[in-house]
C-alpha cells in the first residue's frame, strides 16, 4: 500500500465538537471539554454501555487469542486475508483499529510498524494496552466508534474486525469508520452473515435470555454450559462413524449443543486450550447484546453508497470480509 508521508500519531480531538484537545495533568482539555486520562488511557466515554460484557470477556480471556501467546498464526492469517496484503505492508501507515478488544490484531499491526490508534468502548482497552505495552507507534483510547476522538479523514487504514455486527446499527458504525479514512486510504471490515447453522442451532433459544443477564451472571452460566458440553465434544472429536462422509456424532452434537466448538481450526492444540477457547466463544456468542447479520450484497451496497472504490467483498472467516478505498482527491 506504500509508506505514509507522516508517521506521527494523529492528535485527539473532542468527539463532540471536533476541536483540538491538549494534555493538562491527567486530563485532555479544550474549549470547555474535559476528558480524563486514567491508567495512561484517554477516556471519551464514562460507561461501557452495551459493551460491558465484552469488557468482562477480554479481561478474563486476555491472551487466549493472541498469536504471540498460542504460537499459532490464526489471527495473522485472518488479518492478512482481510487486508488483502501481508501485515508488514502496513509499516509506517496511520492505522485506526475500532473495537480492538484484547488486541489479537493490534499486536500484529504494532509489530509490523504501523502507527496504531486502538479504540474500544469497553474496558477491553485496558487489556489491549497491557498486551501491547507502552511503545511509540501505539496509542489507545476508550471511545465509541460512532463518536471518534480524531479529525475526519486522518487515517491511511481504518480496520474493524469482529465489531460492526455488535453495534446497534452496523450501517451507522461503518459510516462513522469511513469518515476517518483519508482520501486514497482503505477501510477493512468483516461482518456476521446468515448461515444454515445459525438458523438451525438450538443456542438461538438461549441467547435472548443470556444476553439480558448481568455480564458476570451470564459468564457463570456460559461457563456452566461449557462444563457440561465440553467433555462430550472432546470425547467424540475423533469418532470415525460416518454416513456419506459426514461424522455423524460430531454433527448431531453440534446441532444440539449451545457451546462453541472450534476444534477443526486447531486440531493439534491441547485440551486446555480448546476448553478455554470454548469458554470465550460461548460467552461471546450467547451474551452479545447486538448480533446483526448482513449479506455480502448488503455490505457491498453500503460501501458503494458511501462512495468507495476498489470494493472487494467475499464470504470468509466469520461471515463477510470486505475492503475498499476512498477515492483519492484529484491532483490540483
Ligand X SMILES: C[S@@+](CC[C@H](N)C(=O)[O-])C[C@H]1O[C@@H](n2cnc3c(N)ncnc32)[C@H](O)[C@@H]1O
Residues found near ligand X in the complex (CB under 6 A) = 51, 54, 58, 65, 98-101, 104, 119-122, 124, 144-146, 161-163, 166-167, 284
Instruction: Pick between residue 75 and residue 250 the one whose CB is nearest to ligand X.
Output: 75
Nearest residue to ligand X by CB is 101
Nine-digit cell at 71? 504460537
Compute the least distance from the CB of residue 190 to ligand X, in Å: 9
- Give yes or no for a contact between 88 and 3, defined as CB atoms under 8 angstroms apart: no
Compute the least distance from the CB of residue 207 to ligand X, in Å: 15
Distance CA 30, CA 21 (A): 5
Distance CA 7, CA 203 (A): 46
Instruction: Pick between residue 250 and residue 321 the one whose CB is nearest to ligand X.
Output: 321
Three-state DSSP class for 316?
Answer: strand
Nine-digit cell at 135? 511503545
Instruction: Pick between residue 4 and residue 143 the one whose CB is nearest to ligand X.
Output: 143
Instruction: Pick between residue 126 and residue 284 the one whose CB is nearest to ligand X.
Output: 284
Compute the least distance from the CB of residue 50 to ligand X, in Å: 7
In the chain, where does DSSP find H-type helix? 52-60, 67-70, 74-83, 106-112, 124-132, 170-179, 196-200, 203-210, 215-236, 248-256, 271-287, 296-305
Instruction: Pick between residue 14 and residue 144 the one whose CB is nearest to ligand X.
Output: 144
Compute the least distance from the CB of residue 44 to ligand X, in Å: 10
Compute the least distance from the CB of residue 325 to ligand X, in Å: 21
Compute the least distance from the CB of residue 5 to ligand X, in Å: 28
Contacts of 10 (CB under 8 A, 6+ apart): 94, 96, 115, 117, 150, 151, 154, 155
Burial class (CB in 10 A: 0-12, 13-18, 19+), 295: middle
Instruction: Pick between residue 297 and residue 315 the one whose CB is nearest to ligand X.
Output: 315
Residue 312: strand pairing partners: 323
- Give yes or no for a contact between 143 and 44, defined as CB atoms under 8 angstroms apart: yes
Distance CA 34, CA 42 (A): 10
Residue with cell 488479518: 79
Compute the least distance from the CB of residue 212 to ligand X, in Å: 17
Compute the least distance from the CB of residue 83 to ligand X, in Å: 14
Instruction: Pick between residue 131 and residue 250 the one whose CB is nearest to ligand X.
Output: 131
Instruction: Pick between residue 102 and residue 324 the one whose CB is nearest to ligand X.
Output: 102
Q: Which of 151, 154, 126 is nearest to 4 (CA)?
A: 154
Amino acid at each position: 500500500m506504500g509508506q505514509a508521508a507522516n508517521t506521527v500519531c494523529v492528535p485527539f480531538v473532542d468527539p463532540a465538537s471536533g476541536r483540538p484537545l491538549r494534555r493538562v495533568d491527567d486530563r485532555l482539555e479544550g474549549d470547555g471539554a474535559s476528558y480524563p486520562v486514567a491508567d495512561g488511557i484517554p477516556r471519551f466515554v464514562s460507561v461501557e454501555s452495551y459493551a460491558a460484557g465484552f469488557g468482562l470477556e477480554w479481561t478474563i480471556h486476555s491472551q487466549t487469542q493472541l498469536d504471540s501467546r498460542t504460537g499459532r498464526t490464526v489471527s495473522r492469517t485472518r488479518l492478512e486475508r482481510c487486508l488483502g496484503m501481508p501485515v508488514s505492508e502496513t509499516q509506517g501507515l496511520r492505522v485506526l483499529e475500532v473495537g480492538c478488544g484484547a488486541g489479537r490484531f493490534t499486536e500484529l499491526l504494532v509489530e509490523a510498524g504501523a502507527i496504531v490508534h486502538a479504540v474500544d468502548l469497553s474496558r477491553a482497552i485496558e487489556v489491549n494496552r497491557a498486551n501491547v505495552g507502552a511503545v511509540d507507534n501505539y496509542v489507545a483510547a476508550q471511545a465509541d466508534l460512532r463518536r471518534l476522538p480524531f479529525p475526519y479523514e486522518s487515517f491511511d487504514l481504518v480496520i474493524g474486525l469482529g465489531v460492526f455486527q455488535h453495534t446497534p446499527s452496523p450501517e451507522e458504525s461503518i459510516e462513522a469508520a469511513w469518515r476517518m479514512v483519508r482520501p486514497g486510504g482503505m477501510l477493512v471490515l468483516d461482518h456476521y452473515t446468515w448461515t444454515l447453522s445459525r438458523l438451525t442451532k438450538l443456542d438461538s433459544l438461549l441467547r435472548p435470555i443470556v444476553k439480558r443477564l448481568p455480564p458476570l451472571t451470564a459468564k457463570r452460566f456460559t461457563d456452566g454450559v461449557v462444563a457440561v458440553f465440553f467433555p462430550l465434544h472432546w470425547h467424540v472429536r475423533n469418532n470415525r462413524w460416518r454416513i456419506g462422509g459426514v461424522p455423524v456424532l460430531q454433527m448431531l452434537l453440534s446441532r444440539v449443543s449451545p457451546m462453541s466448538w472450534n476444534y477443526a481450526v486447531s486440531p493439534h492444540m491441547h485440551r486446555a486450550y480448546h476448553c478455554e477457547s470454548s469458554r470465550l466463544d460461548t460467552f461471546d456468542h450467547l451474551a452479545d447484546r447486538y448480533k446483526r447479520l448482513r449479506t455480502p450484497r448488503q455490505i457491498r451496497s453500503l460501501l458503494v453508497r458511501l462512495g468507495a472504490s476498489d470494493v472487494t467483498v467475499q464470504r470468509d472467516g466469520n461471515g463477510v470480509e470486505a475492503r475498499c478505498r476512498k477515492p483519492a482527491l484529484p491532483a490540483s
